[in-house]
Amino acid sequence: MFIRAYLRASTDDQDAGRAREYLEEFVAGHGKAIASSYMENASGSHADRPELIRLLKDARRGDVLLVESIDRLSRMDDQAWQSLKAAIDSCGIRIVAVDLPTSHQGITAQSGDEFTDRMLAAINYMMIDMMAAIARKDYQQRRLRQEQGIAKAKHSGVYKGRPADLELRKRVRELLAAGLGIRAVARHAQCSTTTVMKVRDELAQR
């Protein structure tokens, strides 16, 4: 069993690696260690996340997908979440969220009682679904508040928007033109893979 940690932050100015030490302490408390980490700055409302996709490709049956909380894994709508969950299930890996105690059985030895283990697994699936639904609702409410705030600012004539980092975008375009992949561009430009994909898509639309 390999424990694969997934660390995500929503925006470029947030630290996706913030929870790394927290996750390491959690697994150490269970006598385990993190085998590999996958870190990216990307919205949890989308499934197209390169590092999450890479984790699923690397994973083998019996591995653990470790997150700080379910909202780090998903803020997606129900259809997209069910699709992601099916992909995780097909890999034969287990989701463990530090803030969800019912999921911790995925990182510890099973009881040996088949009935008890199946009941705990069923409860855990239900709790994970519930936490994913709560994360989605929180995301939608925050987006609504943001939209309302922007509309109010525009009406008052004080909204200016977020200025684009022109030098960064220029650097990303140059690296893409040189034929580098998304992760390589993000590494060299010191930005998120989400930013790279946005610039790539903008170039494709020209």
User: Do the domain assignments include residue 43?
Assistant: yes
Residue 179 and residue 80 share a domain: no
Residue 113 inside a domain? The answer is yes
Sign of CA dihedral 89, 98, 133, 10: negative
pLDDT at residue number 15: 76
Full-prediction pTM beyond 0.85? no
Q: Is residue 148 domain-resident?
A: no
- Tell me how far apart the alpha carbons of residues 12 and 15 are, in angstroms, rounded to a whole number: 8
**106 in a domain, yes or no?**
yes
**The pLDDT value given to residue 13:** 63
CATH of the domain at 81: 3.40.50.1390
Q: Report the chain (206 residues): mean pLDDT per 10 consecutive residues.
A: 93 77 95 95 90 96 95 94 95 94 82 76 92 92 85 77 76 86 83 86 79
Q: What is the pLDDT of residue 151?
A: 83
Residues 6+ apart with CB under 8 A from 41: 8, 9, 10, 11, 12, 14, 16, 192, 193, 194, 195
Number of domains in the chain: 2
State residue 117's pLDDT score.
Answer: 77
52 and 115 part of one domain: yes
Structure tokens at 40: 């990216």
Domain of 132, in residue numbers? 3-136
Residue 166 has what pLDDT? 82
Give the CA count within 13 Å in the CB-facing half-sphere of 191. 20
Catalytic residue positions? 10
Closest CA to 4 of 112, 88, 76: 88
Q: What is the pLDDT of residue 5?
A: 97
Q: Are residues 131 and 175 in the same domain?
A: no
Q: Which one of 136, 151, 180 terminates a domain?
A: 136
Predicted confidence at residue 83, as pLDDT, reads: 95
How many whole angstroms separate alpha carbon 74 and alpha carbon 128?
A: 10
